[in-house]
Amino acid sequence: MLTLKYIQENKERVIEKLKLKKLDATTIVGDIILADNTRKSTQAELDRQLAELNNLSRQIGALMKDGKTDEANAAKEKTASLKESTKELGVKLAETETAINSLLVQLPNVPHDSVPPGKTPEDNVEIRSGGQIPELHEKAVPHWDLAKKYDLIDFELGVKITGAGFPVYKGKGAKLQRALINYFLDEAEKAGFTEVQPPIMVNEDSGFGTGQLPDKEGQMYHVGIDNLYLVPTAEVPVTNIFRDVILNASDFPVKYTAYTPCFRREAGSYGKDVRGLNRLHQFDKVEIVCIDIPENSYNTLEAMVKHVENLVKGLGLPYRILKLCSGDMSFTSALTYDFEVYSAAQQKWLEVSSVSNFESFQANRLKLRYKDADKKTQLAHTLNGSALALPRIVAALLENNQDETGIKIPEVLIPYTRFERI
RNA sequence: GGAGAAAUGGCAGAGCGGUCGAAUGCGGCGGUCUUGAAAACCGUUGUCCGAGCAAUUGGACCGGGGGUUCGAAUCCCUCUUUCUCCGCCA
């Protein structure tokens, strides 16, 4: 979330910028500023009274020591009304802080100045593209038919075991998954990322830290008995490694990567867009997470984009990189690049990665800070990106690489699959 | 799941209900000494919210939350976590 200080100092800017995210924040921002002023004056008065109370207590202690019991008892009586009013002020302060917080969490991140204004995905801006859209043979079919024909993925079996959106990968289909995961992790390691295996269930604090909670809990699977959430992305557990942490300048750059299954309820999604691998409740993803100082975070973002681009290039997939317009960006992001690959049989662009700089928006929730050159504690910047999400990559690979007799495996994956064709 | 013990600053580890934000040691930072380094010695050393241009200054924080008291790291309740023993188990 945005910091109170930032809102106080940039009131107009926040309102203007959030309009680009389709939110009129005038009222919320106004209420926050009023409540924050109340908070400050309340605390000033509370502190004054507490100081007085502390003084009296010290005097009572001294009097007792000297055996002046009567004077001590007289002083005790003076504390009664002060205690009463500090209690009231304490309640008022807590209520004000709660009110401020419930307003603050409603405000999305402010888009970076370079974000193109816009409302819908049509307003996203293509940054660059690469790869060749293949010419498919006449009998080419979408990946769900290929999956069945070559017995790679069994969607019906997943329905039986769990439900729609939980496919079973089989044989070479399963091996292809494993190959992609290993390829992505190895490339991340080469690029200097430290691999971690985090828990795939997280608690409420973690969900809050990265911005899934409150309000978006409907998108996550909830394990009620222990009040835990299945991760929708490795971003959540990996970024939360750094919750309540103060980093030193020498700790940067922080670069982590993790493979995890991801679980998304995606309530309300039906129809042909969700066919096959296009949208699942459980899928695999390798994520990259970076933490950097504010002065460098946009360089880091570009480096992450380059890394993802190399992965897509390596797989030989036709791709394009979009800079999301303000209206299409997520709640938490300040700047997001989406990667799409072309899935030739469906004749569709499929989103396979989203790389974002959250600036200090998550860090403020996480209390993730660092000591700057002046030894002042400052909020760090957090970034993350998919590198990459598997299902749509598999869809595009199957569709684009099919010929009359099978499917060709990309060169870079053969050391991992140990077969060249399906 | 059952029984017991514990939770203090970056770490280790003290702390009769009163001047304890907290002894001491280690580590970190600055300095003296040294050609340089080590050792030794001296000094310094958290986070958050306020007031102030600033020097400075008020308040809060000893796992979380609540309570007793004029006053709580210290007493009481509760939750969480960790350790030991037993049970179960990939």
Which residue(s) pair with A354 in the sheet? Answer: A338
Report whether pLDDT(A371) > 80. Answer: yes
In a domain? residue A242: yes
Average pLDDT, rounded, for chain A: 90
Whether A317 and A400 have beta carbons less than 8 Å apart is answered as yes
Query: Which stretches of A316-360 are assigned E, i.e. beta strand?
Result: 319-323, 335-343, 348-359
Q: Are residues A181 and A78 in the same domain?
A: no
- Strand B closer than 7 A to residue A377 Cβ: yes
* Helix boundaries (H) for A66-142: 69-104
Domain that holds residue A168: 121-417
- Strand B closer than 7 A to residue A93 Cβ: no
Report whether pLDDT(A173) > 90. Answer: yes
As a whole number of Å, the CA-based R_g of chain A is 27
Please give the pLDDT value at position A63.
Answer: 80
* A270: DSSP letter: -
In a domain? residue A109: no
Q: How many CA within 13 A on the CB side of residue A377? A: 9
Angstrom distance, A88 CA to B13 C1': 39
- Strand B closer than 7 A to residue A78 Cβ: no
Q: Which nucleotides of B are covered by protein (CB under 7 A)?
A: 18-19, 47-51, 58-60, 70-71
Q: What is the mean pLDDT of residues A296-305?
A: 95
Chain A residues 384 to 403 with C-beta below 7 Å from nucleic strand B:
none
In a domain? residue A111: no
Q: Using one digit for the tens of pLDDT, what is the confidence trace for A14-64?
A: 999 999 999 999 999 999 999 999 999 999 999 999 999 888 888 888 887
Q: How confident is the model at residue A314 (pLDDT cuts 50, 70, 90)?
A: very high
CA gap A244, A364 in Å, rounded: 10
Angstrom distance, A72 CA to B47 C1': 35
Q: What are phi and psi of A318, to 5 degrees?
A: -70, 130
By C1' distance from the Cα of A226, the closest nucleotide is: B80
Sequence-distant (≥ 6) Cβ neighbours of residue A21 within 8 angstroms: A108, A111, A326, A327, A329
- Strand B closer than 7 A to residue A33 Cβ: no
- Strand B closer than 7 A to residue A50 Cβ: yes
* A130 vs A273 pLDDT, higher one: A130
Give the other-Cβ count within 10 Å of A23's Cβ.
16
In a domain? residue A112: no
Q: Are residues A49 and A171 in the same domain?
A: no
Which residue(s) pair with A283 in the sheet? Answer: A262
How many independent structural domains does chain A possess?
A: 2
Q: Are residues A87 and A149 in the same domain?
A: no
Whether A243 and A367 have beta carbons less than 8 Å apart is answered as yes
Q: How confident is the model at residue A250 (pLDDT cuts 50, 70, 90)?
A: confident
In a domain? residue A113: no
Q: How many CA within 13 A on the CB side of residue A312? A: 33
Residue A60: give its domain's CATH number: 1.10.287
Report whether pLDDT(A235) > 70. Answer: yes
In a domain? residue A115: no
Q: Are residues A65 and A178 in the same domain?
A: no
CA gap A166, A221 in Å, rounded: 13
